Amino acid sequence: MNEAPSPDSAVDAQPLSERAYQALRQAIVRGDFEPGARLRVEELTRRFAVSSSPVREALNRLTEQGLVRMLDNRGFRVAPLTAAGVSDISRVRQLVECEALRDALAHGDDAWEAQVVAAGHALALAERRLGDAPRALDDDWSARHRAFHLGLYAACTSPLLKALADLLFDQAERYRRWAARHRSSPRHKLDEHQALLAAVVARDTPQAVALLQGHIAGTERFVAAALHGPGLTGPQ
């Protein structure tokens, strides 16, 4: 019997440019690099054990996505985090993700619903385990959180909407992680996620969309509070 390939072997099978892109994108989203930090090609080649060409290709792709800024003949920097930036992301997320959710609710079958329920349950287990700990800094919670939100849109019939939702989620994730390190009070999201899940299972589109809008707006408020918090040294 043939064994299924391991996740590591699947990663090794990727082109070097894709491996460099995925690794650098994850590192930036996770907050391994400070906002505005210089991204030197020679340092990244050592960090990710690839040559300079895949690194430069990854940097150019991430520049197009807004996660990296290219300086005129002076290399690359991690994109800054600003109140205007998170406000813009929140506005576009509501437009894109709410439309994707409407479409998913109109076309999602029983298998899609079962997957959403499973993802919601997995997220709830992680949230209960973490209690008041900063959830956005926990890699397991972050993976389950991402799976739940993008799972909501999996039945959407527009590939472009789903691709935009994926990109916007990572844009917001970078802000969430930064805010989790700097805000003074935790945000309890378990009730928000479970209320959203209940509305989706009930196929109550107006309620589900309203809850998603409020959820996204809540992220903006918490991040903005952290960005403007007293005594912070982060970007304003």
Which tens digits make up the pLDDT trace of 170-221?
A: 999 999 888 888 765 555 566 899 999 999 999 999 999 999 999 999 989 9
Would you say residue 52 has pLDDT above 50? yes
pTM of the predicted structure, to 2 decimals: 0.81
Would you say residue 230 has pLDDT above 50? no
**Which pLDDT band holds residue 139 (cuts at 50, 70, 90)?**
confident
What is the set of domains in the chain, with CATH numbers?
A: 7-78 (1.10.10.10), 83-227 (1.20.120.530)
Average pLDDT over residues 15-26: 90
Rg (CA), the chain: 19
pLDDT, residue 60, reads: 93
* CA dihedral over 7, 11, 13, 14, signed as positive or negative: positive
* Other Cβ atoms within 10 Å of 166 Cβ, number: 14
Cα–Cα distances in angstroms (integers) from residue 23 to residues 49, 50, 57, 154, in the given order: 11, 11, 13, 24
